[in-house]
Every structure is written in C-alpha cells, then in structure tokens.
Amino acid sequence: MSSPIYVAIDTPDLAKAQHLAGQVRNHVGGLKLGLEFFCANGHHGVHEMMKFGLPIFLDLKLHDIPNTVAKAVQALHGLEPAVLTVHAAGGRAMLEDAKAAAGAKTKVVAVTVLTSLDNGDLSDIGVHGAAEEQVTRLAELARDAGLDGIVCSGEEVALVKKIWPDGYFVVPGVRPAGGAMGDQKRAVTPREALDRGASMLVIGRPISQAEDPDQAARAIEATL
C-alpha cells in the first residue's frame, strides 16, 4: 500500500519544487500542488512534477458559479490529477457540475472549513455554531452531490467518517508531535489523523523545511 502522506509543494519556484519532490519521492504517496505553485507554473509545471511518477493532488479550491467551475475542471483534463479540490460553499449545483466535468481518474473533494479558521473566524463570516457543525453540514452536502470526499481537519474527520463511511478524507494541517503549528489552528498528529479515518495526510513545512526532508518524511512514515 502506498503512503497516505502527500507532501505540500508550496513554492512558486519550479526548480525548488522538483528538488523537494526528488528528495522525498520514495517516502511519500503523492505531491500536493496548490494555488501558489499553479499560478506560477500552470499546466507546464504540473506536467514537470508528474515526471516523478507520484499521484498529483491539485489543490485549487475552485469556487465560482457552476458553469465556470465545470469549464475550469474540463480545462484540467489533460493533467488528470488524482485529486482535485473545490469549495463546498459553492453549493450543490456547483459540486454536481464539478464532479460531472472531472475525468474518470480524478477524485473531486470539497473543502469544508479551512484549517486556518476557528469558531471566531467563522462567526466573522456569518457562520454561527462550531466548526464541526459547519464541516458536518458541508460534508453531507458534498456526499449528496456525488463527490468523492471532503477536506477537513483531523478534529472533525472521525465525526464525518460516521456519516460517510466510504468517503475519501483529506486532512491538511497535520503536525508531527512537537512540531510548530504555523498558521494552523486545528491540527493533529499524522497517527491521530489516520486513526480517526483520514485517507490522505497533507504535510508541508514539517517535511519541506526540515534540514533533511527525506529523513523527515521517513520519520513521519514510521509513526504510521
């Protein structure tokens, strides 16, 4: 079984991204390419990163009117990402259209509540109630819209697994025991996230900013 760890390649610099991928390729299960990388390097950059032979998680968090999102997803067909993100807050029609537009080999997962937000932040944008209530509500919406899964924090994944036993759950903001939290407000360790039902663990700085990224990836893998 391949590793559930996807390393977050959060840099606009293609050479740096390639160097990091080359270092950790044997101890991660895939590469996560986000907005920062995609805005700088586009399709060409993704094609270059595909050369490492690892699945690509294209974390673009698409969020627009249904027709626009569907056309954007179609425009990504040539890349055939293993996993692609859209925002659950875009609503049912947008989620349905995104899934319908995706290639057969691409899992479409919905971002519920960003791991950088806490209950106070949610209140600021008019969402009343705790983060787990909003995550549960959006997970049910994504499930009913036919998506493959959701992105949520390790704090909510066990809750969501109960209502969606066969869902695919991406857990970002995972921090090894003793690791710095960075801008994550709701984080758990890789082992905790996996035990609670995570399908994919997205790990960035604890690997990418380590003195020896390969050793860091191996150490995290060993805890799983």
Going from N- to C-terminal start, the domains of the chain cover 5-222
3-state helix, strand, coil in the chain (%, to 5): 45, 15, 40
Mean pLDDT over 198-213 rounds to 95
Q: What is the mean pLDDT of residues 86-97?
A: 98
* pLDDT, position 183: 54
The average pLDDT across 76-101 equals 97
- Residue 2's pLDDT band, with cuts at 50, 70 and 90, is confident
Q: Report the pLDDT averaged over residues 209-224.
A: 94
Percent of the chain with pLDDT over 70: 95
In sequence order, the 6+-apart residues with CB closer than 8 A to the CB of 95 are 86, 88, 108, 110, 141, 142, 145, 146, 147
Contact by Cβ (8 Å): 62, 85: yes
Residue 115's pLDDT is 80
Residue 177 binned pLDDT confidence (cut-offs 50, 70, 90): confident
Spatial separation of the C-alpha atoms in residues 36 and 34, rounded to whole Å? 6
Is residue 179 pLDDT above 70, yes or no?
Answer: no
Residue 89 carries which DSSP code?
G
In single-letter form, the type of residue at position 169 comes to F
Write out the two tokens for 119: 């209950």
d(CA 25, CA 184): 25
- Give 24-78 pLDDT, tens digit per residue: 999 999 999 999 999 999 999 999 999 999 999 999 999 999 999 999 999 999 9
Query: At residue 148, does pLDDT exceed 60?
Result: yes
**Residues designated as active site:** 61
Class of 5-222 in CATH: alpha beta
Q: Indicate if the pLDDT at residue 186 is higher than 70.
A: no
Residue 178 in this model has a pLDDT that exceeds 80: no
CA atoms of 189 and 177, how far apart (whole Å): 6
Per-residue pLDDT at 84 exceeds 60: yes
* pLDDT score of 10 more than 60: yes
Q: Quick one: tokens of 182?
A: 């960075």
Q: How confident is the model at residue 90 (pLDDT cuts 50, 70, 90)?
A: very high
Contact 167, 200 (CB under 8 A): no
Strands 107-111 and 5-9 come out as unpaired
Q: What is the mean pLDDT of residues 158-186?
A: 82
Is residue 175 very low, low, confident or very high in pLDDT (cuts 50, 70, 90)? confident
Amino acid 173: pLDDT: 84
Contact 131, 113 (CB under 8 A): yes
For residues 39 and 185, the model is more confident at: 39
What is the pLDDT at residue 105?
95
